[in-house]
Amino acid sequence: MSDNGCGAPVGGVALADVDPGDQAVIQGTVQRDGVPLSGAYARLLNSSDDFVGEVATGAEGTFRFFAADGDWKVRVLASKGFSEEYAVRAEVGKVIDLQVSA
């Protein structure tokens, strides 16, 4: 993986079945016109809108965060001015799966 200049690693993750175990998982896929979108960014924000983390999507358009129980926001940024925010409630042992059409 290489750095893309903003601090987020490029590469994405494979979203095969994940066993969350004792963690809460927030993951998703970003697509445009049904095609995975590489180079989009997913930002994780806490309930106070504080920045927690950011990842860049890879060739499969995927991202994943591990979070504590509670309310979170995922902000997805992509080319052509796309910016959308998704409220999620994370729970230990569960996987939240977002499907984003940019």
Q: What is the CATH number of the domain that holds 45?
A: 2.60.40.10
pLDDT of the residue at 11? 56
Comparing CA positions, the residue from 32, 29, 55 lying closest to residue 101 is: 32
Residue 76 φ/ψ, nearest 5 degrees: -110, 130
Higher pLDDT pick, 24 / 1: 24
Determine the 3-state secondary structure of 29 from DSSP.
Answer: strand
For 39, the domain range is 24-94
Residue 10 domain-assigned (yes or no): no
pLDDT tens digit string along 2-37?
A: 444 444 445 555 656 667 778 899 999 999 999 999
Could you give the number of structural domains in the chain? 1
pLDDT of the residue at 6? 43
